[in-house]
Amino acid sequence: MKLRLHEIEYGSGDVAESKSFYSNVLGLETSVDQPALKVYRTNVNAMDLNFSEHIPKGVISISFLTNDLDIATKELTRKKATFTGPEKSHLGMMSITLHDPNGIVVKINTPTSASPQWLKDLASGLEENS
């Protein structure tokens, strides 16, 4: 059986509130915008599925990669978003952490000189608003 990760989906008590967070705070655009369903295209050809011990058992997080955590931090501060960090994370990355309206952990990561080269290459290929 051949598989590829298709989507990350989770229940929301208020999809309009979730849309506000992902659209207004993180700047994502909806590709499906129905009253009870919001879908965001990630434009990712490959996505990791991680099982880790550096986050508590049962915690689910959505992680985004950026090539400039300082710009991301300034943008989130401008939008009055509540977050923690930056702090050291796995694979030599620095991360900031937010929580969406449903309590889902949302991380924004950037590689550092201590990160593997493939991760640095992945981040260096990012363009603003891509």
Does residue 5 lie in a domain region? Answer: no
Does residue 104 lie in a domain region? Answer: yes
- Domain limits at 116? 15-45+57-125
**What is the CATH classification number for the domain harbouring 100?**
3.10.180.10
pLDDT tens per residue, range 14-52: 889 999 999 999 998 888 888 888 888 776 766 777 777
Does residue 8 lie in a domain region? Answer: no
d(CA 38, CA 3) in angstroms, rounded, equals 24
**96 or 38, higher pLDDT:** 96
Does residue 51 lie in a domain region? Answer: no
Token pair belonging to 58 = 């049962």
pLDDT at 6 over 90: no
pLDDT tens per residue, range 50-78: 777 777 888 888 888 999 999 999 999 99
95 C-beta neighbours (distance < 10 Å), count: 20
**What pLDDT is recorded for position 130?**
45
Write down the pTM of the prediction: 0.81
Planar angle of CA 70, 71, 74, nearest 5 degrees:
85
Residue 94's SS3 state is strand
Does residue 52 lie in a domain region? Answer: no
